Structure 1
Amino acid sequence: MNRRHNVAVVGGAATLLASAPLTLIFAGLFSWFLPIVFAVTIVVGIGMGLRTLRAPLPVVVLAQLVGLALFLTWTSASGGAALGVVPTGSTLSDFGALFKDASDTAATATIPVPESPGLIFVAVLGIGVVAILVDLFTIGLRTPALSGVPMLAIYIVPMAVMEDTVPWLMFIPGALGYLWLLLTDNIHRVRRFGRRFAGDGRNIDMWEPSPLASTGRWLTAVGVAVALLLPLAIPGVNAAGLLASFGSGGNGDGDGGSGGEGAVRVNPAMNLRGALTQDKTTNLLNVVTDDPNPGYLRLYVTNEQSDEGWSWGGDFGSGVSMAQVGQRQGYDPNLPGKQYKATVTVLGMRESSLPLYPNPDEVSVGRGWNFDPVTSMATSDSRNTENLVYEFKFTHYQFDEKLLRTAPPVDQGSVIFTENTRVDPIESIQKLAERLTADKPTVYDKVKAVNQYFSPENGFKYSLSTERGTLGTGIEDFLQTKSGYCQQYAASMMMLLRAAHIPARGVIGFTSGTKSQNVVQLTNRNYHAWVEVYFQGYGWVPFDPTPSGNVYGAAEMPWAPDSDTIDRSSNGASEDPQGPRGASGDPSLAGKDPLDPNMEGVLAGDDASAPKGPATWPYWITALVVLAILLAQPGLRRTSLRSRRLRPNGDGTASAHLAWRELQDLLIDYDYQGPPSETPRGTADRLVERPKLTGEAAEGVHVLATAEETARYSVHPPDDETADRLAGAVGAVRAELATHAGRTGRLRIILFPPSVLRAWRAAMSRGVAGTANALARARGRVRRLLTGLIRARGRA
């Protein structure tokens, strides 16, 4: 095999190793990895073949792109292609459909995602382009160090899309592939110098094992170890994922009844907004229950407030054993209620909290889950709900206005009061709370007044596109603009109640969904936020301030009349003439199935101006600018060096040495460097012979050689006239050498000058070698110390 072909093959293998993190994203392996293997093989094969024919670099890259396009056409869009492989106009339409399929799947599916045709197409295209870039940097431009940039981009993909951290083990294959590529390229460079000989003079074949390769393998191992362990020594870098892998591995037992491996760290508020703004409806849960009206299904609870309303945090691993579920305190034993049971099947959700109805009495789930009696949440720091099936029993209490009006104010010295009435002193919110609750005789009447304030009659409207006000905080802006979705409604009510010294907390979960017989279907359209208020003797009671017209599956709460229907009765009771919540306000939602594809977009909030997520183009532009700056560094460094060396400094000797050093770097850039022992005059004579410098260039190289000889050997430095000619001489030689390099060669030298890359590579090698030597010395000292201790113990 041609020696450069060997480097090309290693580059392809390194690309495949760098794709290892994608195994975290896809549910399977062969359906996406085999096409990637074929795509990389095609790219490497085309490059090897055309380089054998000595094709120019642009032709090689163009042919690789064409080959990748033909392969993608054949595997993904052959229906409208000529001969099944040649793209046509319809092929481009098919490609567009595949991109849309990939976007839809990525927006709605949970990780690991199903292997849809669109995602496989995007994966093969992306890895194919990376393979072309690696081949270009490694073989075409002979700068294999830059191949790490596209390989690193593959590792960044799961970091950007996964909710939890990427396992550190996924870093190792790509790092080993990258170092393998550098090692192979450098061994090839060294072996170009000629044949090797053993210490006894024996001739060594070129492909016999080399001590240099052994050293490279040791440096590779040290480099990977340092890359993994260095974050442990850097303040502020989270290395918990690395350290956790050496621990017990969590509390899970590995069975299917415990859920998926690994906790999920996701902001529930952001997850809520993302679910509501999706164009596609996805079935998340099926709940089988004997409760005819089970109400809302709780997922996350928080008593932490912020300028935006509430914040989420806490340790998901805290709590007590699941066997202690149901030990509630502070409830009136005479409170009417009935126990029901429910079986939950998770279809498309990955969370570290179990969806539960309020007041659970017993939960049957695998190991690794804990129960928090304060929030009634079942959470885990090592498991998630992926494909989980579990059962639980719960008590459905029958609240009504008469009962809740008997609740006395909560003791201000109790933990419940202090933990759930903390609120920042915002003057506008405090005044509004005082105005709404003034002259209200009971706690319940105060809560009801705040709940009814969010009525459309007061100007509030439901919108997924929140408006920015002029008051500063998110809650103040919402109360000013009166436009937002369930999170703003619930957070605002929570803050108003707390400002009125009434314990309240925020909840995110699901509405009552679509019920057929005893099966409740819950989709991403049922994600919702509401408030729970604490009543002495009755516990936490749910209130939903969001007008029900745009909330699919909103449950009817007799004690909390819908804010879409203003209560004008003397005793506070209200009748909703349009029936259960969810049918009023927007008749188009009444009786509609959220899984009906014709309802896409309608159920997303009926807001044509609702954003579909933050714009991504600023990030792409920023990434391209950063990449351009990084790629420009070698060329900028070379220009800076040349400018400093040729700048007049009034010292003839120094000017001669600097000009000669610039000439040596020019010879490295244009591949005309000579042996280190060559004299200045010998260098000048050689360049006149090859590459046949003529005219000003030939005269200039002799001027440079004469000045260098004078600076080295003469008592008198070069005169001012000679020093003034040095910059022009270097420019003439550089211009003449450029004519022998060709257009591609000149571009390569401008962007990635070999002299700079060689200097950087040497500096990196010295640093790595110094680190390895320091580790070896430390290991020797430890070994000697241990040996001395063992001997001392033996003598004793």
Structure 2
Amino acid sequence: MSRGRAADSVIAGAASAVVAWPLTTLFAPDTWVRPMLLVVIAVVVIGILARLVTSSWVAIAAAQLVGVALAASWVYGRGHLWHGLPTPDMVLAFNNLLVDARETVQHYAAPAPTTRGVTLAIGLAIGVVATMVDHLAVMRRSPALAGLPLLTAFLISASNSGDALHPMFFVAAGGVWLLMLGRQGIASLRRWSTTVPMTTTGGRNTDDRDGAYGYAAVGRSLAVAGLVAAVLVPLAIPHFPTRYLIDGLGRSADATGFSNGQIGLKSTLDLTKSLNSPSKAPVLTYTTNAAILTTLRVGVLDTYTSGNWQPGPVDVDFGQRTTLDPPPDLAADVPRETYRVSVEDSRIEAPQIAAPTPLVGADLGGATWGLDRNTSVAVVTRSTRSYLFSYLALNPTQESLAQSRRGPSGSFLREDLQVDPQSQALVSQLVKDLVPQNASRIEAARAIQKYLRTDGGFTYSLKLPTTVKNRAGQEERPDPISLFLRSKVGYCVQFATAMVMMAREAGIPARMAIGFLPGSVDRGTYTVRASDAHAWPELFFDGIGWLRFEPTPSGTQSTIAPTYSLPPTTPGSDNPATATATGGATSSTTRPGQRNDPASADAANATGAGSSGGWFGPRTRTVVLWIVLGLLGGILGSLAVPLAARQRLRRRLRRAPDESTRVEIEWQAMTERIGDLGVIPPRGSTPRQAGRFYQREAYLEGEQTEALARVVSGVERSRYAPPGATIADIRADTHTVVKAVSAVRRRKDRLRAAWWPTDGLLEWRERRASAGRRLRRPVDRFQDWRAERRR
């Protein structure tokens, strides 16, 4: 079996399987593992058998790929085979399964369900990876190069996981790869020629005269140390935030938050994932003539199932219209004002577009767009960077809001009254305790919002608990909504979900909206960033439409409740609500003339997560720390060569036996420094000839000429004076001469001489040679010991 290289093939297959292990964090349950292992085993077995027959790597790789296809057919294509062989029907079935896998990845947050398509996609992908690793590590004998496909497969999991991977995933993958490297290294070492035969006892080498086991022991120690350092060092180093736009709510197709510079919000929302986005990447900028700012809605989710929000069916009539009728649910007698939002440099990816609501006009530069009839969400057929929307700011009266909580108009609201069955008992009890039986729709909504926002003892936190204690003190893992209502810890997704369910239980149609807060202002222009992403509940009121509420307390995002969602400040007030109907207000501040001040640069007057956290938040401190460390590293690195030159001169002067030697050392140091400036006298010049050359080339005069003369005289006296003669110190004069020559040279010459001196380079070379000799000593001793053993 030596030609088949069975051991190497098995290790290569194990490496391919191990790098797939982190995929268990992305897909649940792990029913894909066994079929994937069968495909990997097929690659390993076929590779071993094919190498016994031929040495052609093309034939072996082709046989393995055919084996992957056949194994996938037998595992995933049953019912579409003809005597065990694939058929055209199976190809069509595989295509449908792979399309299903793509849809699953795009529409579910991790962990996504393990569908048949996902199982097939993983099996085929790992089968191809296993074939590449087998070819590189076994056929090409390049296990180091085989690390590339292994790393690619590993990074697929690492870059798409919402949380940091457990260190064991990395240790396992790195360990198997190092095992491949070790086997190849030992095999290469064994092929080195030796005149001493090896002796074995019981199949084990007992006379390690060739040193293979000694080198292997050192290699294993270094490998283990490297793995430990790779796991422990990142724990001590500050981390930059990941580049996810919104983990679980929004991310583009490449799962990093950015795709060709564009940004998107996922159309599904996982209640167990974080909405935190530390990214300050701009999403869009806009100007507005509105007196009160509004949120920019991107989508609406109305179906909640097992911890996940999903949108309903889409019904859009696309066109290029510039005007729209008011929503059919809006009564003609509701007070309203019309405002405009002019967006520039939008990076939101089609079909999504950020817009206030309700819309009555648009200018999208000829782009085709429309409104979803079910949700009034704007949808575009292609991304547009600049557009203008006109929308209504509704001012419903207190009487129009005081509606009955039962009997919503329109059958399309049925799903907006469905309560999650897992948490319905707890939600129902809370609603009974909070909402009086005779409370109106707005009174019930205000009571629920107040409980979640201020009175219920809830805490805003991006770190969610996983368990909660019951009355007996035991840990429990309830459904996500019950976990939030009992632990009272969460962020906007949990707060909004809880209000939606409580409002539905109270008889008020409710749904979830996703989009962006208004952002931060600078001279009348607002900038919305990725960190401004937000989720909020919308409640339906007959004759008005969907109104935004804000149960989320201010945390990392500045969220202020709309005015109409708060109790009237003046008894009998006829018009307490001045916020927009569906967008709502994030600030109750109005300016004279009901207009924004274009010259205002006070970002404190504009709410939004982009301005929260101050200048020195955790992310800023991390960036500043890295900048400071980088500057310190750069400064220390730039000083390494000059300091080495200075240390070399001091050491030589300290070791000089007499004054004559010190003068000679100072003369050599001066000529080296002047040579670094580009002034080099002819080879073989005497000190006097070199002095005349320096004076001519550097245009020395006055004190500079006198200093050079003293240097030349001191050198000649040190060389030719009789023993016992007095020799003057020339160090101060050498500095004067070097400074004078530097003054007439170009700036780049001066910089090169200051930061890259020849003496410094010589010092580092000597240090490196000395370190190399120290490192070679153990090897030399080992070789001497082996030579003595051979004698």
What's the TM-score, normalizing by structure 1? 0.39
Answer with 1 or 2: which has the greater Rg. 2
What's the TM-score, normalizing by structure 2? 0.39
